[in-house]
Amino acid sequence: MVVRFTPIGAHLFLGLPMHRIANEAVDLERIDPSLARALMSRVGRANGWAERFDAVEALIAERVAGAEVPMVLRSAWCRLLASDGRIALAPLAAELDCSHRTLIARFRTCIGFPPKTVARLLRFNRAVRSLDRRAVGEPYIEAQHAADRPVGAIPWADLAADCGYSDQAHLIRDFREFSGSTPAAFLRDVSLLG
């Protein structure tokens, strides 16, 4: 069974500053042993999958009941998601009538990363989605077979601009940091898997 939380949902459920576990795979037992025992107990008593799902949903509902997310954080998170990270943070903080420092602190606590990193990850995700669409034949690649796909046919500078990067170098930097390869190598690797 897998539960996928939004970053804010994970913060509300786990009740800890998310920067403590950002970029980590941590066993629930290490985070909150009593929560892990309660989860195992409820799931263990359940008869069948429907009851297991109900038990997990009930536990989540109990943990997040009455929890409130600061409006500044909720608004900033929604704006970043809606724009795929293509929004300037200083004007966003000003629009939300909070300091840049407050926005950073709230993001680190409730999401795990500062808003600038979140924006970079969202832009990177947009670029990956765009490459995925193009790898299956959308607008820039017209080959039928993965081995025949002309990776160089992608206008990387246009892709960078569309995804909110100031230039192609920033796109390449984020690809190297988040995927471990250049965009072209990433596309070749993904094409070979398809």
pLDDT tens, the chain, 194 aa long: 889 999 999 999 999 999 999 989 999 999 999 999 999 999 999 999 999 999 999 999 999 998 888 899 999 999 999 999 999 999 999 999 999 999 999 999 999 999 999 999 999 999 999 887 765 444 333 334 444 444 447 888 999 999 999 999 999 999 999 999 998 888 887 766 55
* 66 burial via Cβ count (<10 Å: 0-12, 13-18, 19+): exposed
Let me know: does 18 contact 110? Beta carbons within 8 Å.
Answer: yes
**In the structure encoding, which two tokens stand for residue 136, read together?**
């299956």
- Residue written as token pair 């920033």: 170
* Assigned fold of 118-193: Arc Repressor Mutant, subunit A (1.10.10)
pLDDT score of 137: 46
Q: List, for residues 119-133, the tens digit of each pLDDT value.
A: 999 999 999 998 877
**In the structure encoding, which two tokens stand for residue 140, read together?**
């820039």
Angle at 173 (CA atoms; ends 79, 194), nearest 5 degrees:
85
**In the structure encoding, which two tokens stand for residue 122, read together?**
């969202």
